[in-house]
Structure 1
């Protein structure tokens, strides 16, 4: 089970490197963020995603990013 607070803070502070995507188990997206980290685009998107994670309900966050069996 992933913690939405951790994912949100990683997105806000380290989103330009895609760390939040690696944390959420999406390494392909994480690599894409890492490849484009020399631009400002991943930083802006990471910040927005981090805020969205923090503002979402726990139920919605776990439904989308929680452990799947």
Structure 2
């Protein structure tokens, strides 16, 4: 992938991690002119947001501040890791889960 493609995709790559609405915005704006950099970050962001919601539902039943804080810190670190990767123009997979997200959502952006 050339540097021009990455530079064009950086703004939407970043948007893909900012709320679930950001994922949808990046996805639909990438439909006309497919950019693999944006598609990569849309898959990562979508996977993180879906996992965030599912895990949030599970964590809410524990009603324990220690578990809740751990959950927030865990996902904050993952989202920040993804945003930093998009800003720096790299296609770093999210630790542990990135490969799963890429395989699960491989039809997005192709």
Indicate the TM-score class for this superposition, using the shorter chain for normalisation: 0.3 to 0.5
* Superposition TM-score, scaled by structure 1 size: 0.37
The structure showing larger relative contact order (alpha-carbon pairs under 8 Å, at least 6 residues apart) is: 1
* Superposition TM-score, scaled by structure 2 size: 0.25
Which has the larger Rg? 2
